[in-house]
Amino acid sequence: MKSVQEVYREKLRTPEEAVRIVKSGDWVDYAHCCSFPIALDKALAKRKDELTDVNVHNAISMGPVAVVEEDPDNEAFTYNLWHCSALDRKYIDQGKAFFVPMLFRNCGSYYLKGQAKVDVAMITVSEMDRYGNFSYGLTNCCMQEMLDSADVIILEVNKTMPFIFGIANDHINIREEKVKYVVESPYEIYTVDNPKVSESDRKIAANIFPYLRDEMTLQLGIGGTPNALGELIAESDLRDLGMHTELMSDGYLALYKAGKITNRMKADVNRRKGVFSICNGSRELYDFLDYNIDICSAGMDYVNDPAVISSIANFVSINSCISADLYGQVCAEAVGTRQISGTGGQLDFVTGAYRSPGGMAFITLKAARTDKNGVKHSNIKGRFTEGDIITTPRTQAPVIVTEYGAEDMNGLTTWERAEKLIGLADPDFREDLIREAEEQKVWRRSNKR
């Protein structure tokens, strides 16, 4: 039998040679986030004059996408997104990309059921170990389901991708029959700047902090507010925290460095293991994860499963949104019909945390925003009317938090919700919101202004 090194050499190609396998009409998959194959993408884009109707799937682009940048009129390639980064929403705004509505938890099933086609999969992986294995690194997500559905796989080996252990489905072997080619990337995988913490972020974090306690397991989103909360926790007396999260970011790194996360009290689920499904952040975070046996990756169908989440006692979920209305409906992914991000796992974590013994879910938002013309707008609306996408329905609205406080929506009447949400709104808009509540008959007559 040939050694794994011999098999590797036989399959090794230049990016330009490897992408010759793509034909017009193919569906190509780049996986998600840091698994984006930078060298292969550039090589494929060079074939724009030879190909037609090639569809590319990806999620959360972290750097320029060559098949978009080099083919702005979508003549050869159509770029399709499971979830949007800031760059992706610009592409969509420009008509250069399209969004696929989905629950992250179900993404893998779309592949397995044949609802998402994969002719050629191109993914970035870690360097090969002595047994011929490549780690999926920072992206577990629905990687295995996508690869199982692919006709052909091309691996882009990147020495800057950390080797990360997983609960399952965390690697691929060079002997895998579908692995047609291997290319070696000259690029570093993408990193993300740590979001700056604003004064509003600090106020929102301070309103959440009194609810936190020892031995809770945390799911944090990404952004200034989670970072502000991480700072508070790192400086506090809280101890023996756990991690079970859809996306791992530098906010968790700060908690690990402060000794706050031990995962010791996750008695029934992955005890002593921090669990994530995808990760993006700083180079320091990636280096921290490399061969770190304390932390493992898992598929999105596991991490985001409300049944799994609810089986972890004292589970605390903290996510952000764009806007909320007086009924407690939450929009976390769009402004009107403009796509901003995606549904992700917000509803799954709201559901699971509510069912967790001692668990709680929080959704945060800044009370107001100022547009590019300097006009101020309330992020708490009387009602959604512009095609806004409801991510979390009013029937599952959890604790909603702004700079002006935190209010639990569970079990409240429509008039109670209106009253509390108006109290969370920017004071400049409260009178207008009261008038809207009155018009909608969700303002109690006996309320005094």
Residue type, 5: Q
Q: CA distances (Å), 36 to each of 57, 60, 122, 155, 337, in order? A: 10, 9, 8, 11, 27
Give per-residue burial for 93-109: e unless 16+ CB within 10 Å, then b.
eeebbebeebbbbbbbe
Task: For residue 76, give every residue at least 6 positions away whose Cβ sits within 8 Å of its Cβ, in sequence order, or none.
Answer: 47, 48, 49, 50, 51, 52, 53, 54, 67
DSSP code string of 216-248 = -EEEE-SSHHHHHHHHHHHTSS--SBEEEEEEE
Q: Active site includes 416?
A: no
CA distance 97 to 106: 22
Q: CA distances (Å), 441 to each of 305, 414, 435, in order? A: 37, 9, 10
Of all helices (H) and strands (E), which one includes residue 441? none
> Phi then psi for 305, rounded to 5 degrees?
-70, 120
What is the token pair recorded at 365? 């938002």
Instruction: Give the burial class of 211: count Cβ atoms within 10 A of its Cβ; 0-12 exposed, 13-18 middle, 19 or more buried.
Output: middle
Q: Which of 246, 333, 403, 407 is catalytic?
A: 246
- Nearest to residue 403, comparing CAs of 258, 257, 251, 200? 200
Residue type, 210: P
Long-range contacts of 251-257 (CB under 8 A, 24+ apart): 251/220, 251/222, 251/226, 251/227, 252/218, 252/220, 253/281, 253/282, 253/284, 253/285, 253/288, 254/227, 254/230, 255/218, 255/230, 256/288
DSSP E strands: which ranges in 51-202? 54-58, 77-81, 97-99, 120-125, 133-135, 152-157, 171-173, 179-184
Q: What count of other Cβ atoms lies within 10 Å of the Cβ of residue 410?
A: 13
What is the token pair recorded at 260? 């706050």
Catalytic site positions: 246
